[in-house]
A and B are shown apart, each in its own frame.
Chain A
Amino acid sequence: MTGNAIEVRDLTRKFGAFTAVDRISFDVRRGEIFGFLGANGAGKSTTIRMLCGLLSPTSGTARVGGFDVRSQTEQVKLHIGYMSQRFSLYDDLTVGQNIRFYGGIYGLDDARLRERAAWVLRMADLEGREESLTRTLSGGWKQRLALGCAILHEPAIVFLDEPTGGVDPISRRNFWELINRLSAEGITVLVTTHFLDEAEYCNDIILINAGRLIAAGSPAELKSRYITNPILEVRVDESGIVEALETIRACPWALETSVFGTALHVMTADESEGKRLIRQTLSAARVMVHQITRIVPSLEDVFLYLLDQEAAKAGAEKA
């Protein structure tokens, strides 16, 4: 086994004529938090399912913990933990019964199960609630209990498929603290998400779109690689935001324009020249400008840029 926890080469999965995952290759280093990003239907879940041995690849190879997902499925399953956004718990069992059940199917003996159950209850902040029915727990608790059940058997690699879907922001932050702790203990975490702020917590990320890998690297690398031009945040009067977007988009000097909440992000070749052009254009269009500031690009800027490039490429191929 090399230093990589996961090695994926040209992994492909087709469903009939539809290619859900198209020749994806990437490596995940041991102990890192690896982010897997993409829109719904981009192929994230299909890839994870192949890596967990739930789905066999159409072609290509993947090794998880040094085991081939196609020929050594049983070994792979012993060494991974998996948690999906559905928090696969039995609602009609108590917290303690869920823990004992998952411990039982992984073959934990009584002593180890007791020790691990105590650990899960502490980690999930559920001490004293072993007898509560799982359906009475709130989303954040369920989420941490589901994670606890998924890693009862202390796997070296954990797959988290949209683990923060449907929970409140505070629970989301607590959950990422847990993920960081796992990583600090040397556990490899592969996590899919469509929250781009969460991607900033990852050591490395990949972005997939329509089954294909379109970018890979650390968040800092991706920003410096793709966003070389300054990005200006333009705050305009709320009523004029659509007008402003359309006007600026039509200008050739605006390299990239998108709406972020109540502001526009505009990429230009030069900061001061850009500011001057934006003010001039918008005042001609009678849109009131409150403020223009240069901002540090976020991953969202990177991904919108990359997805635009992809769309342009696809358009060019068609034409």
Chain B
Amino acid sequence: MITLLRAVKPIIVKEFRQIRRDPTSLGMLLVLPAVLIVMVGYALNFDVKHTPLVIFDQDRTAESREFLDKFIQSEYFDYKYSAGGYGEIEEHFLQGRAKIALVIPPRFARNLIAGNDVHVQILVDGADANTASQAMGTAVRLTADYATKIVAEAFARKGKQLYMPVDFQPRVWYNPDLISSKFLVPGLIGFIIVLTAVISTSLTVVREKERGTMEQLMVSPLRPFQIVVGKTVPYIAISLVAATAILILGYLLFDVGVHGSLLLLYAAILIIILGALGQGLLISTVTDSQQVAFMVSVFSSLLPSFLLSGFIFPVASMPVALQIFSNVAVNKFFLVVVRSVMLKGAGLDAVWPQFVYMVIFAAVMLGVSIKRMQKRSM
């Protein structure tokens, strides 16, 4: 075994030298993760705050002012305009200057004091569905708070205590402030590892095929698995560095720490790296040019990792057929592990089924590609 591995060392040394000489590949392997984490962390933000608000107040009383203050002071809304009619609201919506509108009816204060029903209208620009639903939810909550307060005051005036039949006390675990970067950063590790490992592995092998050096390695006494080990070890090391960089940046920039076992986390990272390398090798055995290899790699790693894994879009809200199909994305399983371990501090007892799947994926990918390389050489 030692002699078998000794022949691997020159390949590893050579591979590192080539990576160092090629600024593009080095950039892709180390700078891309950093750029992505900053971009995803800051730009890909689902926390809808500062939604531009337009107000159409037909009452203009102290009471309507008090109600509107709830919205104006909330960080979820930015009071931008006040309108004099529905036409103006529509104009603001069309120009994209406002996403949500509050319409206070005439006689708002009088009805409120008289104890009659009061109808406040909330209009939302539904073009951006995510923002619309979140803004609407917030608006409904603020209105309910205000209504409760009014009722409590009314009871108090009659010398009675307000009594709530069902008290609703929400509490969010693991990510109490519902910050989306806590959800995205762990997912980003898998996304970046799969993307860079698949692309760089397939390219490094196909490049040797294009140059004819692969043929030269094949006529040497090296066995296919030695070539595979030699060519993948450097990328395993680089991917581990990239994953560590994301963990550190995630902690420093977004305060996303690791609650569970680091060892378990790195075990998962190592397994998904192996799977991604296997996928890259497999691509390299079926393609002969770097362009094709690159396209197949991007298509087969980026799309499933981005769309099907639950990185951004929850798998549970997909149509059933797509949910079944989403199992092709090994990242789906990795994500469950990483989020559980990092955010919830879960142990192997909670995530072992995902580990089993990832190990199977890596074994199949590596096994098939080594088998194919052997066949090709024969």
Contact = CB atoms under 8 A, between A and B. Distances in A.
Contacts of B222: 105
Contacts of A90: 14, 18, 211, 213
Given A77-B220, A97-B17, A101-B14, A107 B213 contact: no
Contacts of A102: 216, 220
A74 interface: yes
Nearest to A97: B17
Interface string A76-92: 01101010101111111
Interface string B199-243: 000000000000111011111111000000000000000000000
A107 B7 contact: yes
A107 B18 contact: no
Given A93-B18, A97-B17, A105-B7, A88 B215 contact: yes
Interface stretch (A47-55, A218-226, A233-241): A47-55
Contact of B215 (A80, A84, A107): A84
A86 B220 contact: no
A97 B10 CA distance: 10
Q: Which of B3, B7, B14, B212 has the most CB of A within 10 A?
A: B14
A190 to B, nearest CB: 13
A92 B219 CA distance: 21
A43 to B, nearest CB: 17
Contacts of B7: 104-105, 107
B377 interface: yes
Contacts of A26: none
Contact of B220 (A87, A92, A100, A106): A106
* Range of interface residues on B (Cβ < 8 Å): 20 to 34
Interface string B351-364: 00000000000000
A54 B215 contact: yes
A91 B213 CA distance: 10
Nearest to B222: A105
A56 interface: yes
Contacts of A106: 220-221
B338 interface: no
B189 to A, nearest CB: 30
B22 interface: yes
Contacts of A52: 219
Interface string B6-32: 110111011001100110000000000
Interface string A97-129: 100111111110000000000000000000000
A106 B10 CA distance: 10
Nearest to B227: A105
B22 A105 contact: no
Given A56-B378, A93-B18, A82 B10 contact: no
A84 B211 CA distance: 11
Contacts of A84: 212, 215-216
Contact of B10 (A53, A54, A92, A101): A101
Nearest to A108: B10
A86 B210 CA distance: 10
Given A54-B219, A54-B377, A77-B221, A88 B213 contact: yes
A97 B213 CA distance: 14
Interface string B260-283: 000000000000000000000000
Nearest to A48: B219
Interface in A28-69: 52-56
A54 B218 contact: yes
Contacts of B13: 101, 104
Given A84-B215, A90-B213, A105 B10 contact: yes
Interface in B118-139: none
Contact of B213 (A54, A55, A77, A89): A89
Contacts of A54: 215, 218-219, 377
A10 B17 CA distance: 45
A131 to B, nearest CB: 13
A92 B212 contact: no
B29 to A, nearest CB: 16
Contacts of A93: 14, 17-18, 21
Interface string A226-259: 0000000000000000000000000000000000
B200 to A, nearest CB: 15
A107 B21 contact: no
Nearest to B230: A105
Contacts of A82: 215-216, 219
Given A77-B220, A105-B7, A107-B6, A92 B213 contact: no
Nearest to A94: B17
Contact of A100 (B10, B211, B216, B219): B10
Q: Which of B7, B211, B216, B222 has the most CB of A within 10 A?
A: B216
A105 B11 contact: yes
A150 B377 CA distance: 18
B10 A104 contact: yes
Interface string A178-220: 0000000000000000000000000000000000000000000
A74 B221 CA distance: 6
A55 B215 CA distance: 11
B151 to A, nearest CB: 76
A88 B221 contact: no
Contacts of B18: 90, 92-93
Interface of A: 52-56, 74, 77-78, 80, 82, 84, 86-93, 97, 100-107, 150
Q: Nearest 3 A-B pairs (CB), nearest first?
A: A104-B10, A86-B212, A88-B216
21 contacts: A53-B219, A53-B377, A54-B377, A74-B221, A78-B221, A82-B215, A86-B212, A88-B211, A88-B215, A90-B211, A90-B213, A93-B14, A93-B21, A97-B17, A101-B10, A101-B11, A104-B10, A105-B10, A107-B3, A107-B221, A150-B216
Given A90-B211, A102-B220, A105-B11, 14 more contacts: A54-B218, A54-B219, A54-B377, A78-B221, A82-B215, A91-B211, A92-B17, A93-B17, A93-B18, A103-B10, A104-B7, A104-B10, A105-B217, A150-B216
